Amino acid sequence: MWKAGIAKTDITAYEEGQGMFGYGIWDQKIKNAATPLYARSYVLQSKEQTLILVCVELGIVSIYLKDQVVQSLQQALPNQAITDKNVLITAQHTHSGPAGLTQYAMYNLFVPGFRAKVFHEIKDKIVASVQDAFDRLQNVQLSFGSAGFDQQTFIGINRSVDAYNANPEITKTVDKEDAFDKNMYLLRIEDEKGKLIGSFNWFGLHTTCFSSKNTSVHFDNKGYAAQMLEKDLLNDKTSIHAFAQAKAGDVTPNHIYDKKTKRTSGPFESEDKNARHFGELQAKKAFEILNNKTEFLAPELDSALMYVDFSNVVPDPKYTNGKEGVRTSEAVHGAAFLIGTAEGPGTNNAFETITLKSASWVTNRFEQLKSVFARKDRKNYIQQKYRSQYPKILSFETGEGRLMGAYHPKKIIFPDVFDPSIAMVKRADRMGALDLRPWVAHILPIQIITIGNLAILGIAAEITSVAGVRLKQTVAPILAQKGIDKIIISSYANGYNGYITTPEEYMLQCYEGGHTVFGKWTLSAYQTKFEYLAKEMLKPEKERNLNPLIQPLIFDEADVWDGFNPVNQQAHAA
């Protein structure tokens, strides 16, 4: 009663000299490709319902990429009823893949620019992968299983364990090795005769075994996991297996400080060996699940997707510890975001860190003082912004399009020699590349897919361990009314804009809090909106009110700021 088709396509595409997505380091440029990058596409059908799951070996999926893939599929397969809501595209988040695949300025700054040629090549290959999966449709059985890593197997750490332990539900201090979800969740697909043809699993672990010093395209630990399971562990070499991310926001394999590189890394000196090691651990865990009993899923499919303007959400007080009248604000990247993490430092040294923090703090205080004399609407806006974002030190106000309080970063009195990244932002402004605002997506998708008694929550962000637990707990009692008793979070899905932390984690302003762009109540906003979406899914599909008038900003192709790669710089200067 189930039908499924699975396909894998090489989507490797890049331009020599373009930047990589993940670390935001201006001088991390691609020289070559050490491994291919793949898209693994899964088409599931039950009765008249269709679902498309795609896992791509990229840093993120942009809203623009999802939009263009869906439009292309609708044109190529007009009889398959393909819509935005029944397609989920997720990235396994390698930090060694091409950047420049989004229309928004912030995550294109250090590429530099939107890379149209690379974008369309990757888009076309993803579309071809899905078409191939449709061609392979056959009768199948679906089942679900899970298993956890034991105490003896080191699989990673919580890189912001102090923030994790600040949550009230963590009643006893937890060590960083145990402060995350160690369970892998797996969807198994086998043909009518019980032969395995593929699987799709979710486990939260950052794909950051390769540092910002790497200049070769690489699929990192999750790519190795897929390769090892497909080629080495299974006797049948034809099955296809995707390794996607779950609650990975604060989870990393890097735990040993390296004095040479001044960053944390894995247990081995070789970055490739680290990636292979953590890939092998994930491959073996998936292999274990595949060889144990899994629970068959009834042939019932449902999906719903809605867009939310997360820059202006008033959360339900039950998700804000009873506080009323609080709200999110336009996106702001804080000083903690610029400083980075131990595995991916942003600023170059202590002096630069102090300088950036101080400069941002001063501009924040000056704006608050100046707002006293502003007109009423502006005064209210500024006060609300600082209430929503407190205690973040505001640096990149990516919603308004400001850097350290300046609408035109080129005017900032900050010596370029201190930070080439700031110099690049100022150059982008001089060229007009920052004129399109906001610099990041405010309107983002949230998605719920149900497969039998399994639900998948698609979020366009990186969610921390406890935040993910709270989000699952939010929808669990509602979806239970549909017979759902298993819930998975699929992060980096359908779009991207930073992190989701709990309010308690946010207050510590670790990197994840600095990159929680909509402020302290971001998780509360997601809980409020996912609760609404889950309740709408209890209704017949035609009766659901998902406000189709709210849609993301999709720039026309001609208006996409394709930034300032060296060729465009010269042309502009001429």
Please write the tens of the pLDDT for every residue from 122-173: 999 999 999 999 999 999 999 999 999 999 999 999 999 999 999 999 999 9
Q: What is the total count of domains within the chain?
A: 1
Helices (H) and strands (E) in the chain, counts: 14, 24
For the stretch 527-574, pLDDT in tens is 999 999 999 999 999 999 998 889 998 876 655 554 444 433 333 232
Task: Please report whether residue 311 resides in a domain.
Answer: no
Q: Can you tell me whether residue 216 is helix, strand or coil?
A: strand
Domain-located, residue 347: no
The verdict on residue 327 lying in a domain is no
Residue 265 Cα distances to 205, 282, 342, 344, angstroms: 14, 18, 9, 10
Which run of H or of E encompasses 251? strand 251-252
501 in any annotated domain: yes
Which pLDDT score is estimated for 189?
97
* pLDDT-derived band at 348, boundaries 50, 70, 90: low
Q: What is the pLDDT of residues 426-454, one digit of tens each?
A: 777 777 778 778 889 999 999 999 999 99
Verify cis geometry, omega within 30 degrees of 0, for the bond prior to 78: no
Q: What is the CA radius of gyration of the chain?
A: 23
- pLDDT tens-digit readout, 37-66: 999 999 999 988 999 999 999 999 999 999
pTM for the whole structure: 0.94
pLDDT category of residue 262 using cuts at 50, 70 and 90 = confident
Tell me the average pLDDT of the chain.
91
| Residue 450 domain-assigned (yes or no) | yes
CB atoms within 10 A of CB 494: 28
Instruction: Note whether residue 382 is domain-resident.
Output: no
Interval 497-507: pLDDT, tens: 999 999 999 99
Where would I find the beta strands (DSSP E) of 362-484?
A: 394-397, 402-403, 443-451, 454-459, 462-463
d(CA 519, CA 504): 12
307: part of which helix (H) or strand (E)? strand 301-309
Bridge-based pairing state of the strands 216-217 and 32-33: parallel
Find tokens 């398959």 and name the residue: 80
Encoded tokens for 267 = 């247990």
CA distance 35 to 218: 5
User: What are the tens digits of pLDDT across the range 275-290?
Assistant: 999 999 999 999 999 9
Half-sphere exposure of 433 (CA within 13 A, CB side): 30
Token pair recorded at residue 315? 């959360």
Residue-number span of the structural domain to which 536 is assigned: 2-306+442-543
Rounded to 5 degrees, φ, ψ at 249 are -55, -40
203 three-state secondary structure: coil
Residue 69 lies in a domain: yes
Nearest alpha carbon to residue 462 among 61, 32, 49:
61
Look up residue 558 and give its two tokens. 């001609």
For the chain, the straight-line distance linking the first and the last C-alpha, in angstroms and rounded, comes to 63
Using alpha carbons, list the distances in angstroms from residue 397 to 111, 378, 387, 462.
Answer: 20, 16, 15, 19
Q: Give the integer Cα–Cα distance in Å for 391 and 388.
A: 9
The dihedral through the CA atoms of 431, 432, 438, 441 has a sign that is negative
pLDDT at position 560 is 56
- Give the three-state DSSP class for 48: coil
349-384 pLDDT per residue, tens = 665 677 677 878 888 887 888 888 888 888 888 899
Q: How many CB atoms lie within 10 A of CB 535?
A: 14
| DSSP per position, 134-167 | HHT-EEEEEEEEEEE--TTS---EETTHHHHHTS
Calculated CA dihedral for residues 162, 165, 168, 170, nearest 10 degrees: 180
- CA neighbours within 13 Å on the CB side: how many for 364? 23
Q: What residues contact residue 212 under an 8 Å CB cut-off, 6+ apart?
A: 20, 22, 23, 25, 28, 95, 344
Q: How far does CA 138 lie from the centroid of its chain?
A: 32
Residue 99 forms part of a structural domain: yes
pLDDT at 419: 66
